[in-house]
Structure 1
């Protein structure tokens, strides 16, 4: 049973969402201490967070940013703030999805299922990908090379996993965006650029230079060049 943390200050809406989640056999954990939302979420360790934007004391954007710095848990933001800027901000701060109020319970449920599938769907099948001294660990969201290891954010991990799974093959920017976010219309191109840049920096710190190659106008390619040296 997946655990859903629900952060919503509208008691009527919170009750409606909780009943829907319980009907679909999720374990619902209501967070009602709005002065200490971040601390409570870290303590609860949910599988998915449903996070309202307009909260007392601290808004959802601030909580989302700080939670993402501490956890890879999928975050779905819920808000009546429907401008493109608000939705882009939510995604850039680390949210996996952004649901506009009013919404149907079926739409929200589909978003939750998609987030769970993207975050956890492959873990039961495989725990890591290994290319010689290179290892991408699905359980810890870490990448290691020889004796060095570094942690990845959730989106960094997902991008790298897609590229690693299709090693030596160009993956288009559009394919990466569709894999990462349900509605790419609300994703700024710079968001992907920033994530790719961070991944490259972390790989360089491990001693891997130019392992992710940028093919301008096409996309990106993961090249495990060290395998050729190992086979010489």
Structure 2
């Protein structure tokens, strides 16, 4: 899925870009210049836009974009007054989230807007291994018509293991994937999350699905073990 972020704050822009790319979104960015040209050329599936931008504000661009296309738009702004939110929605935005914001809350809003707009045609990130289905964007695992819900950390761990297709994923790689910027996370934190995942897998009858390679890391059982 293609996301266009329109934001002139480089710190927020880069953080948001990194977060969305971690979930395998195709992300393009714009700092508030030549917006209509990017909308036309990139053809994004959704737009995340600040209100305070160089030259013209987000309200202006939202109304202009709406005259050309009905692409979903979510405002991300430090302007938190009720009047600001009302104005944003009246200009054609599909949702509004105020800064500072939680990335996971934003992801829920993105998925909700996409589901409303695209319905059953929404692009879902789904991984499969030995008939076990991992729905990345929905934070859930499914097997034999039964499912379990996952936390973000559990999802990131399983996503790495599913992508490895039965190969060993080192503890270091998993920790970097889940806690990139946290230097205070130790191996025990990973072990606790692995145990939680195993308890959830047990509820699906997948007792031996997630295995440990001593001194190396973790891997998914491909049925040959």
Task: Report the TM-score when normalising by structure 2.
Answer: 0.52
Q: Counterpart in 1 of 2:86?
A: 88
Q: Secondary structure at the match of 2:4?
A: strand
1:52 equivalenced with 2:50 (yes/no): yes
Per-residue deviation at 1:60? Answer: 0.5
Higher relative contact order (CA 8 A, sep 6+): 1
Per-residue deviation at 1:50? Answer: 0.2
Q: Secondary structure at the match of 2:44?
A: coil
Q: Counterpart in 2 of 1:76?
A: 74
Alignment gaps of 5+ in structure 1: 125-232
Tell me how far apart the structure 2 counterparts of residues 4 and 18 of structure 1 sit (CA, whole Å).
Answer: 9
Tell me how far apart the structure 2 counterparts of residues 86 and 38 of structure 1 sit (CA, whole Å).
Answer: 23
Tell me how far apart the structure 1 counterparts of residues 107 and 29 of structure 2 sit (CA, whole Å).
Answer: 17
- Counterpart contact for 1:35–1:58, Cα < 8 Å: no
Alignment gaps of 5+ in structure 2: 123-225
Per-residue deviation at 1:41? Answer: 1.4
Per-residue deviation at 1:95? Answer: 0.1
Per-residue deviation at 1:121? Answer: 2.0
Q: Secondary structure at the match of 2:120?
A: coil
In our comparison, the structure showing a higher alpha carbon Rg is 2
Per-residue deviation at 1:35? Answer: 3.0
1:36-51 alignment runs, 5 A limit: 36-51=34-49
Tell me how far apart the structure 1 counterparts of residues 17 and 121 of structure 2 sit (CA, whole Å).
Answer: 27
Per-residue deviation at 1:57? Answer: 1.0
Q: Counterpart in 1 of 2:136?
A: none
Q: Counterpart in 2 of 1:18?
A: 17
1:110-149 alignment runs, 5 A limit: 110-123=108-121
1:191-206 alignment runs, 5 A limit: none
Q: Secondary structure at the match of 2:8?
A: coil
1:8 equivalenced with 2:11 (yes/no): no
Tell me how far apart the structure 2 counterparts of residues 15 and 103 of structure 1 sit (CA, whole Å).
Answer: 15
Q: Counterpart in 2 of 1:29?
A: 28
- Counterpart contact for 1:91–1:98, Cα < 8 Å: yes
Moved runs in structure 1, 4+ residues, more than 3 A? none
Aligned length: 122
